[in-house]
Structures are given as structure tokens and as C-alpha cells.
Amino acid sequence: MKRSITFKLILSYAAVIFMMAGISITFISLFSSGYIINEGNKQLQEYAEELVETLTSRNISPLATQRVKEIFNELNVKDYSFAAYLNDNYDVGFHSSSMSISLSDFQTAVRSKIGTEGAHALKHVTGDYALYVRHIYSLDTGDRTALVLYMQVDRYGIDRSLFSLYLMAVLIAALFTVCIALIFSSTLTLNLKKLKAKANMLAKRNYNCNIKIDSDDEVGELADAFDAMTKSLEEYDLSQKIFLQNASHELRTPLMSIRGYTEGMRDGVFENTEEICTEILDQTSRLEKIIEDIMYLTKMETSANSIVVEDASTLQIVDEAIDRVQGIAVSGNITISKGDIAEMNVRCDVDNFCVALTNIISNCLRFAKSEVVVEVRPVAKGVCFTVSDDGPGIHNDDLPHLFDRFYKGKKGKHGLGLSIAKAVVVSHGGAVNARNKTGGESGAVFDIFLPIK
């Protein structure tokens, strides 16, 4: 059964109110019961001591006799009861008319208590009682009389009218909490309904869902996170569209070239078919390279199991990457130099990481005048591979988009090499960035950070 937030808030608030009321009434009952027993025992002790002092006097004056009568009257008025035991046998007793216990029941209940002087608490089937036992010894015969004063304390609990007022206060408090819950929930549910509307619009790829949510609590933070997610999805959706457009454009160019040459051969336009076949093969190779790069990039960005790490040294990785592009460097009369190489053991997918490093070195070879330098240095929590060239550097307009897919600057080919490098490095938990040299030197610098766990 579906329950609204308003219902849950009202239920939770009311539950808290009634639980606190139950706890408080329990504590009050326990405290009042103990307090009544203690106060009753004190008063019983005062009456008992006064009676003993009067009854044990050898010369009992008329005033003393009158005081004993007054004490008995006070005991009766206050619902206290009196009994006396001679040598633990019932002898004489006084019983209040308001007490519900018979003397025979009382004798059985208190017999185990009269042997010890002092205050006692007695639980009986008819209620809870406070007792005070005082022994009197006869100066002539030495007989012991146990003077027992007692009172029923459980009738002195919380007054019914007071308890009714307390329940009334609890109900009024619960009513106020319901009103407060309705006020709070109305604002909360309104914002959540707005978020639901935004989610429905987002599901339809409508990113222009300008629904304002003013809230300075967790709901407001959720709304801000939702807006950030919407912007991120919009950017991702746009990047996917641009990727498809660029991929279509890059694939169309060699396909159109192949189609044109093929139709020309069919129509007999070209006489040197061998040269045309070579051009068709070149365009086919270009088409295959683009498709392979797209598939490789997609694999690195989507497959969680594409990286298989192993132990390797930084020098081994650098040598492997340089060997892969040495032919290109020689043909362009460019030297690939190894600068300061900090030999460290790292865990990475050597083949894939070499692809990333090779792509960056290849990019530098296209712009370098005479030299490309590869260096490795330790940094905090990892190692940094640095590739630099002595070319003109990177144009400021190209820097923000250098690693975007199909973004081609001057002398660029397909616009996928640096995108692949970034995807590989990110899949290793690292980062890559590009910058220009400073201090009057010209050239581009690429930094690849690889974490070491």
C-alpha cells in the first residue's frame, strides 16, 4: 500500500508524541510511588515513636492519654491502620474503616515483617503497603510487643483528574504536531513534485526544464545535484551527436573517394588503373584506421575489463613507446631523446598504456622541429610521464579541445589519437593534460599522471 510523505510525517510525529507521553507517565508513576512510600514511612515512624514514648511511660498523665486518642484519630483520618502483636501473636488492633484488608489477612501478611524494626514495603494481593514496625519491651515481664503502623500507598498515585488533563494535553500536542507536519510536508512534497516533473521532462530528452526549486535544505541540494546531472547529460548527449556527425564525416571522405575512383574505372575514365587501385587501397586503409580507432576508443570508454594490469618499469614503458614511433621520427629527421627517467615499478596495462604514450609522442613528432624529449619523474601518490617538443606550441584556441574526439588542429589527422590517449590514462585512474612551455621557450608539453597504489 502506497503511503504519502505527509502521512508518514504525521504518523512519525504522533508516534514520537505518544511515546514521550508514555515514557514520562511511567517515570512519574515510578517516582510518585517511591516518594509516597518514603513519605508514608516517615509519618508512620513519627506516630510510632510518639506512641511508644507515651505508652512506655510509668506515669501516664491524662494529657498523655488524650494524646494517644488524638493519634488514633489522626491515623483513622489519614487512612493509616494500627495493629499490635504480643510475642508475635495477634493481641489487639485498630483498623481504619476505609481499609479494604481484614485483620486476619493483615496478620498473615505482616507476620514475616514484625521481627525486624523499621520501615518495610509490603506487596499484597489487595495493594501495596508501607509498614513501620516498632518494638516495645515490658519492664516488668520483659514481653515484646510489636507495634505496627501501615498504610496502603497505591491509592495515592496520580489523580484521575490530573491524569485526564495530562492525556488532554498530549492529544492537543499531537494535534499541533499534525498541523506542523502538514505545513512542512506541503513544502517538501511540492518540491519533490517539481523534481518529478523535471525527471519526466529529462526522460523525454527535454533539457530545457526550467523549474525553480527554492530550498536551503537537503531537498535544495538534491535539486542542485539534479540540475548538474541534467547539464552533464545534455553535454554528453551533445557530444554523442557531435561524435556521430564527425564520425560520419570522417568515414564519408574515404568512402566518397573510393566510390569516385571505382565509378571512374567502370566508365573507363582512368587509363592508369594501377595507380587508381593504389589510391583506392590507401583510402581503404585510411577507412580501416578510422574504424579501428573508433572501436578502440569505444572499448576503452565503455568496457570495465579492457585493462589488464601487470608489473612493469617506467624505463620499459618508455623504450617500448619510442620503438613504436622510431621509424616516423627517423623519416622526419627528428630525434626522440630520453631525459631524466626515474626508474620505478608501476602496475598498468603495458600494451594499452604504450598506445597512449605512443599517440602523444606521435602528436609531438608532427609539430617538432628537431627533437622530442620523454621524461619520467616521481610525484605525490604516483609517477608523471612528460613528453615535450621544440615546435611552435599549442594554439590557445586548441588547448581546451585538444583531447576531444575528432577535434583536429593544424596538421591533425583523424582527431582520435589524443582522445584515445586520454581514455587509456583515465581507465588507469590517471590524468593527462597539455600546456605550452614557459620561460621564453617554445613547444608543447604533455603530462601523464599514473597513480601508484
Q: Each residue of 379-404: pLDDT tens digit?
A: 988 999 999 998 888 888 888 888 87
Residue 384: predicted pLDDT:
94
Closest to 51 in 3D by CA, of 79, 26, 31, 80: 80
Structural contact between residues 223 and 213, judged by C-beta atoms closer than 8 angstroms: yes
Are 181 and 160 in contact by the 8 Å Cβ rule? The answer is no
Mean pLDDT is lowest, of 70-79, 94-103, 375-384, for 94-103
Cβ–Cβ under 8 Å, residues 451 and 346:
no
Share above pLDDT 70 across residues of the chain, in percent, rounded to a whole number: 70
Domain with CATH 1.10.287.130 in the chain: 215-305
So what's the pLDDT on residue 107? 66
**Would you state the pLDDT for residue 383?**
93
- The pLDDT value given to residue 389: 92
**What are the backbone angles phi and psi of residue 154, rounded to the nearest 5°?**
-75, -10
The predicted-structure confidence for 110-152, as pLDDT tens digits, reads as follows 777 777 888 887 777 767 777 788 887 766 666 777 777 777 7
User: How much is the pLDDT for 162?
Assistant: 61
Question: Which pLDDT band, with edges at 50, 70 and 90, does 95 fall under?
Answer: very low
More confident residue, 94 or 102: 102
In which band, very low, low, confident or very high, does the pLDDT at 253 lie, cut at 50, 70 and 90? confident
pLDDT band at 86; cut points 50, 70, 90: low
Say what the pLDDT of residue 446 is. Answer: 94
Q: Measure the CA–CA gap between 170 and 21, rounded to whole angstroms.
A: 7
Q: Model confidence over 33-67: pLDDT tens digits?
A: 666 677 777 777 777 777 777 666 655 556 656 66
Average pLDDT over residues 234-253: 70
- Shortest CA distance to 444 belongs to which of 385, 365, 376, 383? 365
335-341/371-379 β-pairing? parallel
Average pLDDT over residues 201-219: 73
Q: Which residue has better confidence, 2 or 123?
A: 123
- The more confident residue out of 443 and 47 is 443
The class level of CATH for 5-161 reads: alpha beta
Q: What is the CATH number of domain 310-451?
A: 3.30.565.10
CATH class of the domain defined by 215-305: mainly alpha
Average pLDDT, stretch 197-225? Answer: 75
pLDDT tens digits for range 271-324: 777 778 888 888 787 777 777 777 777 777 666 566 788 888 999 999 999 998
The pLDDT value given to residue 99: 45
pLDDT at 87 > cutoff 70: no
Note the pLDDT of residue 100. Answer: 46
Kindly report the average pLDDT of the chain as a whole number: 76
Instruction: Tell me the three cell numbers of residue 355.
Output: 598506445
pLDDT band at 168 (very low <50, low <70, confident <90, very high): confident
**Contact present, 153 and 129 (Cβ < 8 Å):** yes
pLDDT in tens, 419-434: 888 888 988 889 999 9
Could you tell me where in the chain the CATH 3.30.565.10 domains are found? 310-451
> Which pLDDT score, from 0 to 100, does residue 96 have?
44
Q: In the chain, where does the domain assigned CATH 3.30.450 lie?
A: 5-161
How far are the Cα atoms of 92, 323, 326, 370 from residue 331, in angstroms, in the given order?
A: 131, 14, 9, 12
